[in-house]
Structure 1
Amino acid sequence: MTLIVVALALLILVPMLPALARGSVAAWLAVPPLAACLWWLSRSTHATLPLYIAPVLVPGFMAGVFGSTLLAGQSPLIEQIVRLMDPVEPEPDVLIYARKLTLAWTLFFIALSATNLVLALLAEPDGLLLAGGITPPFTVPQEWWSLFANLIGYLLVAAFFLIEYAYRSHRFPRQPYRNMLDFFVRVLAIMPRLVSNVAAPRR
């Protein structure tokens, strides 16, 4: 259980690091309740709790990564990818689209995380509320949570990406990559610089 709690703590804190480094009051105020929740989890003997929490934190982590780059003084994540992938100065329409797409991914991951949380809270017989001794107003079969967390959520991510890729290719036909495979290869190539840009606090 201790290793699981440490892994969950990293999933929570890593996307918060830029905000913490900037001295964000909201980020620092969030630390004590998060620490309390992790402490409670470490003391819990409910074996299925980590199974419920991970599907909430992973998309929450992604929402934090995308969303943190939309804050004042930051460059939207998709814009950073565009600039790193293509040395040519992007057109204004591309930059506007990049910001909107970064926001769209942020909202999408928030919705995914929230859906996993609601299903985890309401699942029966071993949901979070029932495990805590609280009877929810209604319940859903635990299989619903499992199906969404372990399959449907991933299919939605893939569908979101494929639909957006097709739309982007139609709207902006001039791209620095030849096809989807070339796109992924180029993203992997710029990943070290991208991670460095996202992690570095802006002054």
Structure 2
Amino acid sequence: MTSSSLSPDHATRRYGLLLLPAYPLLAIAGVLTQRQVFALLALALLLTALMLPQLLARRVLPWLSWSGAQAGLLVAWRCGLAGLLLEAVPVLINALLAGWFGRTLGTAEPLVARFIVAIEGDERLRQPGVAAYARQITWFWAVLLAAQALLLAVLLLCADHDGLLARVGVVSPLPVPAGWAATWLHLGGYLLLAAAFTLEYVYRRWRLRHLHHPGLHDMLLQLALHWPQLLRGKRPAAP
């Protein structure tokens, strides 16, 4: 699919994705400089990127929700809590994604199967070995993301000096250097997921080498453009 053939809705989601790379840069700037304004900007940018399709639809409710959330971020910034909210974002993202993958395992269409249908159609899922592989990889992502969420929560709680336990005066049972904790929270965790995604793609091409596979760039683009279909699914839950 070329850029010129994208529907307005698809183009909007693509533009929203272009904003996301600035988020980790602002987050890291906040960690390195210890200035809350960078945390505020990172949170505001993330919220805007996620809500961009609804905002550009020019409906009142999304704009009210966005304005209220931005006002809440300003209040948190004034109270010195923007950095804490930013640190909690990776934990929340991983926990939500783990729940998303995990919930679909109880249905006839695990999440990776939805990915396959969205990118390559129903026929692809009926080819030998594809449906079983899709369920196995859905399990893999559910477990990896849950473990990552747990690790990030421990880092958020136990970091020296600025962990949640240290902030309330409780001695951490598992002290973690603050620099290491911040680096993994805002960079390492995302790099791990990117590496896991890339390695799974390579493994899939070997495991299902009897099939043709789309390029990595095309696959990522189609996933981004079809995320509403991924949220809804198509098949009924398994009995």
Asked if Structure 1 and Structure 2 have the same fold, meaning a TM-score greater than 0.5 normalized by the shorter chain, the answer is yes
1:51 matched to which residue of 2? 86
* Higher RCO structure, 1 or 2 (CA under 8 Å, sep 6+): 1
Question: Any conservation in 1 of the 2:155–2:181 contact (CA below 8 Å)?
Answer: yes
Within the alignment, does 1:172 sit opposite 2:218 as a pair?
no
Structure 1 residue matching 2:122: 3-state secondary structure:
coil
- Any stretches of 5+ residues in structure 2 without a counterpart? 1-39, 48-75
- Cα distance between partner residues in 2 of 1:195 and 1:149: 26
2:73 matched to which residue of 1? none
Per-residue Cα deviation, 1:3-36 (whole angstroms, up to 9, x for no partner): 98xx99xxxxxxxxxxxxxxxxxxxxxxxxxxxx
1:112 matched to which residue of 2? 148
Structure 2 residue matching 1:91: 3-state secondary structure:
coil
Q: Which amino acid aligns with 1:134?
A: V
Q: 1:68 aligns with which of 87, 100, 103?
A: 103
Deviation for aligned residue 1:170: 1.3
Question: Any conservation in 2 of the 1:82–1:90 contact (CA below 8 Å)?
Answer: no
Deviation for aligned residue 1:87: 3.5
Deviation for aligned residue 1:138: 3.8
- Any stretches of 5+ residues in structure 1 without a counterpart? 9-41
Structure 1 residue matching 2:129: 3-state secondary structure:
helix
Pairing 1:15-26 to 2, within 5 Å after superposition: none
TM-score by length of 1: 0.69
Question: Any conservation in 2 of the 1:120–1:127 contact (CA below 8 Å)?
Answer: yes
2:126 matched to which residue of 1? 90
- Cα distance between partner residues in 2 of 1:46 and 1:129: 17
TM-score by length of 2: 0.59
- Cα distance between partner residues in 2 of 1:182 and 1:129: 44
Deviation for aligned residue 1:54: 1.4
Deviation for aligned residue 1:135: 1.3
- Cα distance between partner residues in 1 of 2:141 and 2:97: 9
Per-residue Cα deviation, 1:63-104 (whole angstroms, up to 9, x for no partner): 111111012x35200012223322315235211110010010
Within the alignment, does 1:148 sit opposite 2:180 as a pair?
no
Residue 137 to residue 87, structure 1, CA distance change in 2 (3 Å): closer
Deviation for aligned residue 1:187: 2.2
Deviation for aligned residue 1:201: 8.1
- Cα distance between partner residues in 2 of 1:188 and 1:97: 22
User: Percent of counterpart pairs with the same letter?
Assistant: 33
- Cα distance between partner residues in 2 of 1:81 and 1:137: 41
4+ residue stretches of structure 1 with deviation over 6 A?
none
Within the alignment, does 1:78 sit opposite 2:78 as a pair?
no
Within the alignment, does 1:136 sit opposite 2:172 as a pair?
yes
Question: Any conservation in 2 of the 1:60–1:113 contact (CA below 8 Å)?
Answer: yes
Within the alignment, does 1:157 sit opposite 2:193 as a pair?
yes
Within the alignment, does 1:121 sit opposite 2:121 as a pair?
no
- Cα distance between partner residues in 1 of 2:108 and 2:80: 40
Q: Which amino acid aligns with 1:75?
A: E
Deviation for aligned residue 1:176: 5.2
